[in-house]
A and B are shown apart, each in its own frame.
Chain A
Amino acid sequence: MERRRYLVAYDITNDRRLREVYREMLGWGTRLQYSVYLCDLTRPELIKLRRKLLELIDRDDDSVAIFDLGVPASSRAVVPEILGRPPTLPRQGPAIY
């Protein structure tokens, strides 16, 4: 299943929930900036992430925004222009250590 790249940004009003969401996000994406992540996900993976986040946040006070940036390797993918410190982008391919 093909993965698309999503930009996930959140605004959490409570410290405990903020920590929980932060820890959750580490399993799904690469941190771009505080509370902003890039996640390469298949659709079922996106649905699971969404479900996890909904369980963690307080729907009245917190919010999460998810932007679809397209297929990473394709020409139509949205590439953010970053000024300053270069971002870490999600890696693809085998991991050899």
Chain B
Amino acid sequence: MISREDRTIPREAAAEPGPEPEPAPLLPARMVNEFVYCPRLFYLEWVRGLWADNDDTAEGTDLHRRVDTPAGTAPEPGPGVRQVARAFELSSETLGVTAKIDLVEFLDDAARPVDYKRGRPAPTPARVWEPEQVQLAIQALLLREAGYQCREGVIYFAETGERVTVPITPELEQQTLAAIARARETAGQPDAPPPLVDSPKCPACALVGYCMPDELNLLLHRRTARPRTLITREPAARPLYLIGYGTQLRKDGNHFIVAPRDGEPTRIRPIDISHVAAFGTVTISTSALHALLAQETPIAWLTRGGRFLGLTSGLMGKNIQLRRRQFTLTEPEALELARTFVIAKIRNQRTLLRRNSRFEIGRTLEGLADAVARARLAPDSDTLRGIEGYAARLYFNAFPAMLRRDLPFTPGDLFRGRNRRPPRDPVNALLSFAYTLLTKDLTVQAQLIGFDPYWGFYHRPKFGRPALALDLAEEFRPLIADSVVITALNNGEITSAHVRRIGAGYTLTDDGRRTFLRVYERRLEQEITHPRFRYRLSYRRLLDLQPRFLAAVLLGELPAYQGFETR
């Protein structure tokens, strides 16, 4: 969950007139604190601009709201003054840091910074962890530079109400200056520092969901044990689908109302919506649109028939490095990725057939295995496309073997090989719709992570086509989309009543779409054991995980992308 409201935006360096090089932005003391805690955390927050709320940060923000209101004025330095100032800001070009001090106590002959922390003192002799000591020392150094004497600082622990005094010793000063210098250096590096290995800090880290320390370390062979359960397997929010003709989404106070044309309006909590999928002629009021964008909830627009039109989302994230890499990837690098997508897809097609086929399809399985072998050697992406097309024909020829024989559809009309625009039979109508949903989900996901969803490595960019999402979708087509189509038909959840013939093509009725969506969403909730990480996770989480791994590959944190394959 990202909350823009609570995000601390790094202060921009003041624009200097003249030809002097622009000074590096001042580091907030809080960021140096993060650096001492974990250099990677510092890099993700400061350089990549990531921010997430967890228990600690939410409670921390809560606490700081009370002390962040500027109040009091600083007296001229000098003896005999006793006063306090809140949310006191100081910066230093020399030190290259800036700080907002919760509270400064001005004594007779010195100033004393006080930092508010949630929780309780550390169970160590110093009673304060190193990152807090360093943060306090920066505040002290800034006060000294401003002309005050400063011999000690105080950390106030909100939970226990204790004040712990931290002497600002020459050693702590040295340690602090060194930390500032290393933080600056790290910020200038092109790559993020690697994740900590087996660190007890990670479970409490706000960015653990982005960082994926245990997963990355396992894939990098820096860790052998299976990953701890650090990342929640399930996001709390779910998509909101608007399908009915003329359905309205509007905002009322601080919640949303969905009003179908004929039917009861329903109240929706903002925190329940992960993204909105708007099909056809639905209305989203401007205030609802604003509210969605403000909470960084994207809206996917689709035609009523289920063609994906585009995405509305707020400002793109600060993750510029990732997008830059996306556009500057070399041909061979892009081909390697394309190969992985295609191979994972064919292998998953093969697995699906092997598991679900009701007839003997040995020849097809052999052909698919052969296609995988050839894809491994494909010298360019055109060859790869050829192999993929060949595999697709084999696969779709055998596709009916996975369907029940006695389905209540006109036999022969059910499936005539893969075709689209318009889908010329019910199965193709379902397949097309399923692929749209998958593409929609991956476009949303890619965008959230900071990719440009429209620039791919295998699919060519074409107007309005989310090429990267299509790339990412390849491995999931058999696993999620095809398997949902098979389930929906074989379980009798989709019947001939849900499919309509229009001209040369077939389309789903609104009711059919709703029914199919439920089966699709059910599939996303389904949990599987990850073959490498050996923990259970849902397909929904997997749709989030795989794009993150792709990002890690582009950013040089992982050597190679691995498609997800079931056994």
Could you tell me which A residues sit within 8 Å of B by CB distance? 1-3, 23-24, 26-29, 41-45, 47-48, 50-51, 92-97
Contacts and interface: CB of A to CB of B under 8 A. Distances in A.
A44 B1 contact: yes
30 contacts: A1-B232, A2-B234, A2-B236, A23-B254, A24-B253, A26-B255, A26-B267, A27-B253, A42-B1, A42-B236, A43-B54, A44-B1, A44-B3, A47-B59, A48-B58, A51-B65, A93-B238, A93-B521, A93-B525, A94-B238, A94-B239, A94-B518, A95-B238, A95-B240, A96-B514, A96-B518, A97-B240, A97-B242, A97-B247, A97-B266
Given A2-B232, A44-B58, A94-B239, 20 more contacts: A1-B1, A2-B234, A24-B253, A26-B252, A27-B255, A28-B269, A29-B269, A41-B271, A43-B55, A48-B58, A93-B521, A94-B521, A95-B238, A95-B241, A95-B272, A95-B273, A96-B241, A96-B517, A96-B521, A97-B247
Name the residue among A27, A45, A50, A93 with the largest chain B CB count within 10 angstroms: A27
Contacts of A45: 236, 271
Contacts of B1: 1, 42, 44
Contacts of A26: 252-255, 267
B243 A97 contact: yes
A26 B232 CA distance: 27
Contacts of A97: 240-244, 247, 258, 260, 266
B62 interface: yes
Name the residue among B65, B244, B253 with the largest chain A CB count within 10 angstroms: B253
A41 B269 CA distance: 11
A54 B513 CA distance: 44
A27 B521 contact: no
B107 interface: no
B198 interface: no
Given A1-B236, A94-B241, A27 B269 contact: yes
Contacts of B336: none
A93 B243 CA distance: 17
A51 B3 CA distance: 15
List the 4 closest A-B pairs by CB distance, nearest first. A27-B254, A44-B58, A27-B255, A23-B253
Name the residue among A23, A27, A95, A97 with the largest chain B CB count within 10 angstroms: A97
The B interface, classified by DSSP as helix, strand, loop or mixed, is mixed
Interface residues of B, number: 41
A47 B64 CA distance: 13
B270 interface: yes
B268 interface: yes
Interface string B62-76: 100100000000000
Given A2-B236, A97-B241, A43 B266 contact: no
Contacts, number: 85
A29 to B, nearest CB: 8
A83 B533 CA distance: 47
A92 B242 CA distance: 17
Interface of B: 1, 3, 53-55, 57-59, 62, 65, 232, 234-236, 238-244, 247, 252-255, 258, 260, 266-273, 514, 517-518, 521, 525
B511 to A, nearest CB: 11
Contacts of A95: 238-241, 258, 266, 268, 272-273
A52 to B, nearest CB: 9
Contacts of B254: 23-24, 26-27
Contacts of A23: 253-254
B239 A47 contact: no
Contacts of A42: 1, 236
A44 B3 CA distance: 10
Nearest to A91: B272
A70 B55 CA distance: 17
Contacts of A1: 1, 54, 232, 235-236
Nearest to B273: A95
Contacts of A2: 232, 234, 236
Contacts of B234: 2
A47 B59 CA distance: 7
A25 B514 CA distance: 30
Contacts of B59: 47
Contacts of A44: 1, 3, 53-55, 57-58
A39 B415 CA distance: 46
Given A96-B241, A96-B243, A51 B518 contact: no
Nearest to B53: A44
A2 B260 CA distance: 30
A97 B249 CA distance: 10
B267 A43 contact: no
Contacts of B252: 26
B253 A43 contact: no
B237 to A, nearest CB: 10
Given A1-B236, A2-B232, A94 B517 contact: yes
Nearest to B282: A97
A26 B256 CA distance: 9
A1 B239 CA distance: 16
A43 B518 CA distance: 28
Nearest to A52: B254
B289 to A, nearest CB: 17
Nearest to B248: A97
A12 B62 CA distance: 23
A75 to B, nearest CB: 18
B390 to A, nearest CB: 36
Contacts of B57: 44
Contacts of B514: 96
Nearest to A39: B269
Contacts of B62: 47, 50-51
B246 to A, nearest CB: 11
A53 B151 CA distance: 40
A93 B234 CA distance: 11
Name the residue among A3, A26, A95 with the largest chain B CB count within 10 angstroms: A95
